[in-house]
């Protein structure tokens, strides 16, 4: 009877006790846990302790005047991130595939592959960016990057028919890199190398699961791994150490300096294809040197002629004779429709010996594909003569010649000849127009006219543009005219305005080989223009 009574009392007393405890909780404890919602208040109303706690969350462009706000970049990255995520993940898959394949077959590993790979829907954000004063040939920027991603990367490894999975998730990164773009070149994307170094130790946090278990939950391991990774990254890339990423291929010629001039004489063509209804063709030749962004040069048109003669000479600036090639394409001129292709050929410049003229009789081909069956058809021949002249040392008349196989010959006391004049218009200062100031520079030399881009609404434009002038003889008695002008878009009586000019004697450039000076502009209040000129003889 006592046992039955005890069970009955427990069954009745337990629900009553729980109900009483719940009522006591609601009466005395629950209201204490309810707090008023946080009201957004101005910073001036906060006490010093609250303000100090809030400071780390204030963007750098607010706390420091050296950093600029770049919300437009963050908006661009946000809109592009779904596509960037896929592109970056595809690149990661391609880059890691050779590494995974190296371990397959070792230690009993049968396969390694990504089970899942995504960087998440949240892109990195730039808290601010600092831009240093641009030097002559480089640009230095320091962005502050924060990335609280929801990345999810799963790698599956099959070992002796047993599958093991490792998962990386919730990656958080904060770093301040210094990015240097150098050298600045006139070819897109306008810089040849990207140099990156870290200005402080980065902060890295992430979750890691092995076989479904959270490894980072082990006491002390999370902090140890976080500090170890940050320290290793800082040891590799902390300033002044850096990683250099080439952007432009040196073989493209964008970053190389001119080494000589190629003289091309298009002599004649023979037995060309008949493209017109009357059994004739109207041929002309287009010439282009690889590695250059300049437009192709072309001969005159020979009407109704299957065996034309031109004897026309063209000149090209050579930057890398070991890799550049001369492209020759022949077309049949048409007045209305597109010009028909008659054939093409190429000549590698490594086949040339400096200062020796060489005649080539070329069989025209449909394309440079050796497996193209159309190349078996006879399309006629093209005869050209090529001469490659190296630039001489500016201090003497010694000429260094190479046969393309590492053998070098020296030739002294070469007769004077023409060469290449490089004119680099760097920048101008204190230029001001009466009606508008959108400055650009005009370079005039021996009837040739070159223009820089227009810089809008500034008195201190920076162009950094280089122009080339090839001449038959040294311009010791010539002057070069450089004028800074301003141009307003639209119809106006005062659309163009001169901001000043300067005439520079080239005798000093020829004698010294190079001049780098600032010149005071004539008919200007106090404006100057910075010009660098180099003379190279052949």
Q: Is the dihedral of CA 426, 432, 437, 443 positive or negative?
A: negative
For the chain, what is the mean pLDDT?
79
> pLDDT at position 402, please?
42
Task: State how far the Cα of 469 lies from the Cα of 482, in Å rounded to an integer.
Answer: 14
Secondary structure of 478-519 in HEC code, one letter for each residue: CEEEEEEEEECCCCCCCCEEEEEEEEEECHHHHHHCEEEEEE
The residue among 293, 299, 351, 298 whose CA lies nearest residue 325 is: 351
Determine the average pLDDT of the residues in 315-327: 87
Query: What count of Cα atoms within 13 Å lies in the side-chain half-sphere of residue 271?
Result: 9
| Predicted pLDDT of residue 307 | 93
- Determine contact, residues 426/419, Cβ cutoff 8 Å: no
Supply the pLDDT for residue 401.
46
User: Does residue 264 contact residue 386 with C-beta atoms inside 8 Å?
Assistant: yes
Q: Is the pLDDT of residue 312 over 90?
A: yes
How far CA 297 is from CA of 41, 231, 288, 310, 456, in Å, comes to 69, 56, 6, 14, 32
Q: What is the pLDDT of residues 330-375, one digit of tens each?
A: 999 887 777 888 999 999 999 999 989 999 999 999 887 777 788 8
Residue 87, CA distances (Å) to 84, 119, 154, 456 in order: 5, 11, 18, 36
What's the pLDDT tens digit per position in 447-504?
Answer: 889 999 888 888 999 888 888 888 878 888 889 999 999 987 655 556 788 999 999 9
Secondary structure element (H or E) that encloses residue 347, with its range: strand 340-348
* Length of the chain counted residue by residue: 538
380 — pLDDT class (breaks 50, 70, 90): very high
- Average pLDDT (124-129) is 83
All structural domains of the chain: 57-246 (no CATH), 260-390 (2.60.40.150), 419-537 (2.60.40.150)
- Return the C-alpha torsion angle 145, 146, 152, 153, nearest 10: 40
Those residues with Cβ within 8 angstroms of residue 90's Cβ, 6 or more apart along the chain or in another chain: none
pLDDT at position 403 over 50: no
| DSSP tag of 374 | G
Alpha carbons within 13 angstroms on the beta-carbon side of residue 255 total 15
Mean pLDDT of 494-519: 87
Please tell me the distance from the alpha carbon of residue 330 to that of residue 380, in angstroms, as a whole number: 11
Residue 117 has pLDDT above 70, yes or no: yes
Q: Please work out, in degrees rounded to the nearest 5, the angle formed at the alpha carbon of residue 307 by the alpha carbons of 373 and 330.
A: 50
- Which residues fall within 8 angstroms of residue 412, CB to CB, at 6 or more apart? 397, 398, 399
pLDDT of residue 252: 47
288 pLDDT higher than 80: yes
Burial class, 467, CB count within 10 angstroms (exposed 0-12 / middle 13-18 / buried 19+): buried
Q: Specify which residues 203 forms β-bridges with.
A: 174
Q: pLDDT tens-digit profile of 47-70?
A: 766 666 666 566 666 666 677 777
> Which run of H or of E encompasses 53?
helix 48-54
pTM of the model as a whole? 0.48
Q: Name residue 173's beta-bridge partners.
A: 147, 204
Tens of pLDDT, residue by residue over 145-198, are 888 877 888 888 888 778 888 888 878 888 888 888 877 776 667 777 788 888
Q: Where residue 139 falls among pLDDT bands split at 50, 70, 90?
A: confident
């Amino acid at each position: 009877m006592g046992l039955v009574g005890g069970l009955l009392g427990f069954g009745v007393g337990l629900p009553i006790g729980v109900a009483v405890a719940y009522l006591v909780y609601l009466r005395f404890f629950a209201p204490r846990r309810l707090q008023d919602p946080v009201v957004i208040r101005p910073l001036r109303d906060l006490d010093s302790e609250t303000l100090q706690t809030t400071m780390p969350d204030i963007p750098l462009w607010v706390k420091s005047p050296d950093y600029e706000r770049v919300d437009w970049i963050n908006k661009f990255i946000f809109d592009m991130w779904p596509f960037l995520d896929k592109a970056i993940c595809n690149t990661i898959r391609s880059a890691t595939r050779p590494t995974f394949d190296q371990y397959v077959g070792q230690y009993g590993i049968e396969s390694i592959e990504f089970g899942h790979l995504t960087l998440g829907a949240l892109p990195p954000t730039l808290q601010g960016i600092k831009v240093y004063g641009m030097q002559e040939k480089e640009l230095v920027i320091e962005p502050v990057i924060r990335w609280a991603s929801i990345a999810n990367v799963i790698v599956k490894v099959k070992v002796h028919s047993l599958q093991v999975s490792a998962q990386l998730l919730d990656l958080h990164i904060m770093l301040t890199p210094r990015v240097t773009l150098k050298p600045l070149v006139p070819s897109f994307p306008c810089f040849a190398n990207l140099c990156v170094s870290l200005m402080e130790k980065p902060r890295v946090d992430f979750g890691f699961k092995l076989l479904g278990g959270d490894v980072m939950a082990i006491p002390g391991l999370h902090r140890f791994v976080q500090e170890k990774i940050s320290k290793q990254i800082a040891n590799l890339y902390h300033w002044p150490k850096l990683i250099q990423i080439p952007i432009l291929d040196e073989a493209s010629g964008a970053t190389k300096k001119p080494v000589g001039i190629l003289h091309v004489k298009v002599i004649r063509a023979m037995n060309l294809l008949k493209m017109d209804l009357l059994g004739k063709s109207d041929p002309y030749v287009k010439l282009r040197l690889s590695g250059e962004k300049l437009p192709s040069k072309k001969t005159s048109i020979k009407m109704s002629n299957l065996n034309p003669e031109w004897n026309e000479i063209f000149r090209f600036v050579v930057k890398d004779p070991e890799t550049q090639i001369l492209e020759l394409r022949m077309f049949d001129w048409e007045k209305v429709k597109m010009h028909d292709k008659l054939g093409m050929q190429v000549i590698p410049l490594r086949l040339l010996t400096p200062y020796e003229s060489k005649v080539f009789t070329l069989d025209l081909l449909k394309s440079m594909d050796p497996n193209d069956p159309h190349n078996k058809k006879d399309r006629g021949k093209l005869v050209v003569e090529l001469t490659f002249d190296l630039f001489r040392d500016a201090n003497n008349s010694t000429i260094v010649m190479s046969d393309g196989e590492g053998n070098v010959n020296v030739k002294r006391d070469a007769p004077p000849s023409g060469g290449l004049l490089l004119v680099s218009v760097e920048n101008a200062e204190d230029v001001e127009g009466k009606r508008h100031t959108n400055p650009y520079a005009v370079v005039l030399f021996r009837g040739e006219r070159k223009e820089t881009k227009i810089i809008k609404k500034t008195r201190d434009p920076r162009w950094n543009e280089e122009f080339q002038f090839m001449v038959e003889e040294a311009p010791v008695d010539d002057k070069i005219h450089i004028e800074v002008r301003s141009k307003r878009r639209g119809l106006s009586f005062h659309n163009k305005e001169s901001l000043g000019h300067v005439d520079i004697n080239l005798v000093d450039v020829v004698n010294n080989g190079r001049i780098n000076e600032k010149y005071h502009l004539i008919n200007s209040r106090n404006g100057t223009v910075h010009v660098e000129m180099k003379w190279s003889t052949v």
